[in-house]
Structure 1
Amino acid sequence: MPQTTLTKDQWIALFQAIGLDAETMWRWHQCFEARHPDQHQSFLEWLGIPAEEIQRIRAG
């Protein structure tokens, strides 16, 4: 059965492929969290990130 979601590492690789550095990726997450917190939570879950890591990411 084909994989239907991306992993965190695959997502990061896509960001890196378009030239985003770690700081820019972090700002993207901060903006996502500030503007759309519920959707950000869903996105992080969709990536399969464990709950403890999601809490750290969202806490900034």
Structure 2
Amino acid sequence: MKGTVTVEEWVARFRAIGLDDAAMQKWHNLFESENPAGHQSFLEWLGLPDERIAEIRSK
């Protein structure tokens, strides 16, 4: 079993449970507002480059 999950795999899981783009954005906003350090760690765990993390967190 690999140690990371790609963004594409994560989005596919969200879609599989019925989340659309608006619901995924709501999830990210909630995660960021309730646990910014945890959100940062999660995005790093996904292997995103710093520029992409900054873009996501600024939304």
Which ranges in structure 2 are unaligned for 5 or more consecutive residues?
none
Q: Report % sequence identity.
A: 51
4+ long deviations beyond 3 Å? none
So what's the TM-score if we normalise by structure 1?
0.94
So what's the TM-score if we normalise by structure 2?
0.96
- Residue identity opposite 1:59 in structure 2: S
Aligned to 2:43: 44
Structure 2: distance between partners of 1:11 and 1:28: 13
RMSD: 0.7
Structure 2: distance between partners of 1:14 and 1:27: 16
Aligned to 1:31: 30
